[in-house]
């Protein structure tokens, strides 16, 4: 590379690439070896504050490429599939130059913010865990804003002038605007309690009636997003109750469609015709998030520039969509964990050490919650609360149990470190309660974050079980154990401890009522009155 080349605008150092994208140096080298990124040109650094004598410099476009890789990984694509997609995109560009220039302007600005996640992560496709974070959920709900610098009204999620909806990763509609309800689906989605009722393919293939031709084209379009996630032989997994005729129809369409491009912002032109023979164009904008995919059908809309500007504010779009997602009746597990004797420990430690301890506890358990797909939730106390949502082929109950057991082992190691450090007799224990239920699940806006919460007694009972537990015990309900498969139950060691003189005996595969296990002298017995008759058991370990 010529030393006189204008690096400031055209080239970026390896240090800047790492800082702007949040990937590790090892991951950067892996991407180069996989030919996803070009080999850097090596020269002396231009800045005097750089410690290295020589630095590698990349074209500025590598930032966009790394962002694309991270987006695809969040969707669960393997590195082989990502490599194929990126190589194909070089041969078959579908995004116009206006959107691409907008991406170049906005992606680097949003990259750092996108990596401060609060939502549950999905399966890893690489060893670099830093890259699988979800975008932050910050900022007040959006409304229409007048941009005086451009003399134009900025479009927001709430006032998109054309059909728009958010599909989750099970291809169920989590958010939809009135325009889409009326023109595309002719359905009132807020009357649909079960997520499966809002499955996009079930809606398009059934009750066809009006706009049958349009629904055929939309089915083909959405099937593109299925192709790399679900094989042809497994199409019946798209939604419950699929008929053999519906499966045959999807299988016939499956081979004819190609997977979509998945840049930060995408658009695709659909040529639609209605039952009366009238033809019109539909420019579909779509943006892929970890939570799903947002679709905006700009059917002959004039304000396509406003839509493109809206999608450029990626973090704001995610925040607004999460705030407006419809409450859904779902099955889930909830895990509540509280630090035993936290008030006393707080009183005994200097403030700086207590905060250090709490931060270490969070660091100790956070990775485990992510590994088992836990979603952080609202908790009125000072402990931890995580949800494990039931999804297709998801062992959500065993995920919660496995997460609790792993957390307990991690806290034991932290406990030994602090005993050696302080020489004290305190025991660091997270007392855990797990419960399972079916409740309405949604979000509650709270500045500056969005908190996920469930309505009903499921969470309350888990909190009571956490209060009931002592010395790091894990308690759950008989109802949850009964819902496990025979194989999962056999793989767990659980039961009730009984005292025989000076010995404590575990009666395995047994349960007890809370009221029968509370000692009369227990001064806190009144707080367990609402679960007094609840049959529970202690999970000891995996066999």
DSSP string, 69-133: HHHHHHTT--HHHHHHHHHHHHHS--S-HHHHHHHHHHHHHHHHHHTS--SPP---SSS-GGGGP
What is the rounded distance in angstroms from the CA atom of residue 482 to the CA atom of residue 469? 21
**pLDDT for residue 121:** 36
Residue 161's closest CA among 270, 326, 299, 292?
A: 299
pLDDT at 448: 52
- Inter-residue contact 270 to 284 (CB < 8 Å): yes
Q: Which is nearest to 95 in space by CA: 271, 299, 285, 259?
A: 285
Q: Output the CA angle 117-138-23, nearest 5 degrees.
A: 30
Q: Write down the residue that tokens 């990937």 correspond to.
A: 23
Give the whole-angstrom CA distance, residue 398 versus residue 481: 10
Q: What's the distance, CA 470 to chain centroid?
A: 32
| Residues contacting 164, CB < 8 A, separation 6+ | 157, 176, 177, 179, 180, 294, 295, 296, 297
pLDDT at position 338 is 93
Collect all residues with Cβ–Cβ distance below 8 Å to 186 and sequence separation of at least 6: 210, 211
> 224-266: per-residue pLDDT in tens?
999 878 888 889 888 888 899 999 999 999 988 988 887 777 8
Distance CA 539, CA 473 (A): 8
Per-residue pLDDT of the chain in tens (543 residues, 90 and over written 9)? 444 433 334 688 888 888 888 888 878 888 887 888 888 887 777 665 555 667 788 888 888 888 888 877 777 677 777 877 776 554 444 334 433 443 444 444 444 333 333 233 333 333 343 333 333 333 333 333 334 334 344 556 677 888 899 888 889 988 888 888 888 888 888 788 777 788 999 888 886 666 678 888 899 999 999 987 888 888 988 888 889 999 999 999 998 898 888 777 788 888 877 666 677 778 888 988 877 889 988 876 555 666 767 777 667 777 777 677 777 777 899 999 999 999 999 999 999 999 999 999 989 998 999 899 898 887 655 679 999 988 765 799 999 999 999 999 999 999 999 999 999 888 999 999 999 998 877 666 654 555 667 767 898 899 999 999 999 999 999 999 999 999 999 999 999 999 888 888 999 999 999 999 987 666 677 788 889 999 999 999 998
Which residues, other chains included, contact 257 with Cβ-Cβ below 8 Å and sequence gap of 6+? Answer: 220, 223, 224, 227
Q: Which of 66, 76, 71 is nearest to 125 (CA)?
A: 76
Q: What is the DSSP letter of 155?
A: P
Using CA atoms, how far apart are residues 177 and 189, in angstroms rounded to an integer? 10
CB neighbourhood size of 70 (10 A): 24
Smallest Cα–Cα separation from 285: which of 260, 261, 268? 268
Give the Å distances, CA to CA, from 166 to 38, 180, 324, 441: 35, 11, 10, 17
Residue pLDDT, tens place only, 389-443: 887 657 999 999 999 999 999 999 999 999 999 998 889 999 999 999 988 776 6
- Residue 325 · residue 166 · CB < 8 Å: yes
Is residue 289 helix, strand or coil?
coil
**Cα gap 180→367, rounded to integer Å:** 39
As a whole number of angstroms, the distance between CA 277 and CA 270 comes to 15
Per-residue confidence (pLDDT) for residue 52, from 0 to 100: 63
């Amino acid at each position: 590379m010529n030393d006189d080349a204008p690096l400031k605008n055209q080239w970026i150092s390896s240090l800047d690439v790492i800082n702007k994208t949040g990937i590790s140096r090892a991951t950067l080298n892996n991407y180069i070896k996989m030919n996803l990124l070009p080999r850097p040109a090596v020269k002396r650094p231009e800045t005097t504050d750089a410690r290295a004598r020589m630095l590698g410099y990349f074209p500025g476009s590598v930032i966009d490429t790394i962002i694309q890789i991270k987006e695809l990984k969040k969707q669960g694509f393997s590195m082989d599939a990502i490599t194929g997609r990126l190589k194909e995109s070089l041969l078959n560009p579908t995004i116009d130059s206006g959107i691409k220039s907008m991406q170049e302007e906005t992606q680097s600005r949003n990259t750092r913010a996108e990596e401060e996640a609060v939502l549950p992560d999905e399966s890893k496709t690489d060893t670099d865990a830093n890259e699988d974070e979800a975008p932050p959920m910050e900022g007040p709900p959006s409304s229409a804003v007048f941009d005086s610098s451009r003399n134009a009204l900025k479009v927001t999620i709430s006032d998109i002038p054309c059909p728009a909806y958010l599909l989750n990763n099970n291809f169920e509609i989590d958010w939809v605007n009135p325009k889409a309800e009326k023109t595309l689906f002719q359905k009132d989605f807020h009357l649909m309690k079960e997520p499966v009722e809002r499955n996009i393919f079930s809606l398009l293939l059934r009750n066809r009636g009006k706009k049958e031709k349009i629904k055929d084209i939309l089915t083909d379009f959405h099937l593109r997003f299925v192709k790399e996630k679900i094989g042809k032989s497994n199409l019946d997994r798209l939604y419950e109750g699929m008929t053999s005729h519906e499966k045959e129809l999807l299988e016939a369409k499956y081979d004819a469609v190609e997977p979509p491009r998945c840049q930060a912002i995408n658009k695709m032109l659909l040529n639609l015709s209605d039952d009366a023979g009238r033809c019109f164009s539909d420019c579909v904008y779509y943006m892929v998030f970890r939570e799903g995919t947002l679709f905006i059908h700009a059917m002959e809309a004039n304000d396509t520039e406003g839509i493109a500007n809206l999608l450029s504010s990626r973090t704001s779009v995610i925040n607004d969509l999460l705030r407006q997602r419809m409450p859904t009746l779902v099955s889930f597990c909830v895990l509540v964990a509280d630090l035993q004797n936290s008030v006393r420990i707080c009183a005994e430690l200097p403030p700086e050490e207590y905060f250090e301890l709490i931060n270490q506890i969070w660091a100790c358990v956070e990775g485990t919650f992510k590994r088992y797909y836990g979603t952080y939730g609202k908790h009125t106390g000072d402990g931890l609360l995580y949800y494990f949502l039931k999804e297709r082929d998801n062992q959500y109950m065993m995920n919660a149990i496995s997460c609790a057991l792993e957390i307990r082992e991690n806290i034991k190691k932290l406990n030994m470190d602090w005993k050696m450090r302080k020489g004290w007799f305190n025991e660091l224990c997270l007392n855990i309660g797990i419960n399972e239920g079916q409740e309405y699940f949604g979000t509650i806006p709270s500045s500056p974050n969005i908190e996920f919460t469930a309505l009903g007694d499921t969470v309350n009972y888990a909190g009571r079980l956490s209060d009931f537990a002592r010395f790091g015990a894990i308690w759950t309900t008989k109802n949850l154990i009964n819902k496990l498969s025979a194989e999962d139950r056999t793989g767990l060691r659980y039961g009730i401890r009984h005292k025989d003189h000076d010995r404590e005996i575990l009666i395995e595969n047994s349960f007890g009522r809370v009221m029968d296990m509370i000692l009369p002298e227990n001064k806190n017995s009144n707080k367990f009155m609402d679960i007094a008759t609840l049959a529970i058991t202690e999970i000891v370990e995996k066999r």
